[in-house]
Amino acid sequence: MTTQNKVAFITGGNRGIGFETAKQLGALGIEVVIGVRDLQKGFKAVSDLETLGVTARAITYDSSKPETENAVYDYLDKHYGKLDILVNNAGVAIEQLMGGNNSSSLPSDVLQQTFQTNLFSVVTLTQKLLPLIKNAPEGRIVNLSSILGSLTLHSMPNSPIEPAKAFAYNASKTALNAYTVHLAHELKDTPIKVNSAHPGWVKTELGGPHAPMEIADSYKTSVYLATLDTNGPSGGFFHEKEALPW
């Protein structure tokens, strides 16, 4: 994929995996727009990116406020008239991810809040921005999922992710993977590619301090999928360049 004159929109791009993704896409010459809840934190992230030579902007986006989707669309349409790369990076985990299973007692509001950020807002934002992605020569959509959304791995004997049974988070990522498969199928006759990314277990606020991957290495899967060439995959689930089981 040629990276010159490209623009990427990254939700939750002011810190963690989103910021590293913005940094690395920017290093390829792609202009990055980061969607943030707190615009002052967004401006700080933009300043840090510009110090590194990245062309970046920050705009307000809040997954709990659907009206901000319209503002994102209007901004991108006004300034670019297209969107080459959408990285649906923002996500939440309200439960403890490791060492418990509360499937029989999970409060419904936890399920609803988790799905709102990790699935519903991803679907509605992608639908809103899809006309701009179709205006790009070869659009790319990257949905930040998790290996914890893999039903195959959860259900296998001696599962490597057996201790991680946070139902709301895991189920939201399983559903996000289903959206990836369905949207990729719908767009299979277009130049657009849609894939799910497992970035790894990363030392972010969500991943916690015991995660094995440093934030500085967390961008690799997102950047790989955001810059796929014409012959690259669509409708898949990847960690870096390795396909993962659904």
Tell me the per-residue pLDDT of 180-225, one tens digit each, with 9 for 90 and over: 999 999 999 999 999 999 997 654 555 555 555 566 677 899 999 9
- Whether residue 1 is predicted with pLDDT greater than 80 in this model: the reply is no
pLDDT at 230 over 60: yes
Average pLDDT score over residue span 137-150: 97
Q: What is d(CA 224, CA 111) in angstroms, rounded to the nearest whole number?
A: 31
d(CA 25, CA 34): 12
* Model confidence at 121: pLDDT above 80: yes
Which residue blocks in 143-219 are alpha helix, DSSP H?
A: 151-155, 167-186
Cα Rg for the chain, rounded, in angstroms?
17
Q: Which amino acid is located at 69 in the chain? A: E
Domain 7-243: state its class.
Answer: alpha beta
Q: For residue range 155-168, list pLDDT tens digits in order.
A: 999 988 888 899 99
pTM listed for this prediction: 0.94
pLDDT of residue 218: 78
Q: Is the pLDDT of residue 94 over 60?
A: yes
Q: Which pair of structure tokens corresponds to residue 226? A: 């955001």
Q: Which residues of 76-95 are buried (b: 16+ CB within 10 A; e: fewer)?
A: beeebebbbbbbbbbbbbbb
**Residue 33, SS3 per DSSP:** strand
pLDDT of 203 reads: 47
